[in-house]
Structure 1
């Protein structure tokens, strides 16, 4: 999928109710996500298929989340004591985001599949 298509899909067809105003903060959120998706898509090729890139992306998200979660802690022992709560928080967030995106993809399946086909033809 091209970067433009990704941005169009995620911003216009996101799981945000059409009656909800997209704030500048939400717009920035989707633009950051789109940029990361663009980087992931740029990794696709003969050396890496979507499953491999997806696994790297999940690892990167976990690694970055661990770093973010550590902010504010002074000692590693204190941080370690919060591990279960931190994991629960991130798993809950990921589960909701994944569920919302799977629903969106299912509802827009024909459109998204066509965008993927158009992108393959353009390459």
Structure 2
């Protein structure tokens, strides 16, 4: 699961829903693995989907494409900062729990 294992953090219902959505998306990605798609290919598709969805979300509230385009660099900066922090947190978690995650992945045949 993608949750922070720090026992000092209370998992609110909103956080639980966040992690459940993320886990559902990871499960969908894992279901795409097979003879025609390895983890690198599925990961690339997942990144593309995240970028495509984020562009759509970022466009909400704009009336004109020109106004939206003017905000492009700020939008990119926001999403890159968020992704960098999430990736860093998950790399740290994965490194700290490496043996456990490797055993789970071997048992499940998943890429998570």
Query: Structure 1 length as normaliser, TM-score?
Result: 0.86
Q: What is the 5 A alignment of 1:104-115?
A: 104-115=93-104
Q: Does 1:69 align with 2:49?
A: no
What does the per-residue CA deviation read over 1:45-67, in whole Å, with 9 as the maximum and x for residues that have no partner?
Answer: 00000000000000000000000
Q: Does 1:88 align with 2:89?
A: no
The secondary structure found in structure 1 opposite 2:35 is coil
Matched with 1:54 is 43
**Inter-CA distance 82–16: structure 2 relative to 1 (3 Å threshold):** farther
Gaps of 5+ in 1: 1-8
What does the per-residue CA deviation read over 1:25-51, in whole Å, with 9 as the maximum and x for residues that have no partner?
Answer: 000000000000000000000000000
Which of the pair has the greater relative contact order for Cα pairs under 8 Å at 6+ separation? 1
Matched with 1:5 is none
RMSD after superposition? 0.9
Structure-1 separation of matches of 2:6 and 2:94: 15
**Shift of residue 17, structure 1, vs aligned partner:** 2.5
Matched with 2:33 is 44
Matched with 1:102 is 91
Structure-1 separation of matches of 2:90 and 2:102: 14
Gaps of 5+ in 2: none
The one of 29, 35, 49 aligned to 2:24: 35
Query: Structure 2 length as normaliser, TM-score?
Result: 0.94
Structure-1 separation of matches of 2:108 and 2:58: 37
Structure-2 separation of matches of 1:16 and 1:80: 39
The secondary structure found in structure 2 opposite 1:39 is helix
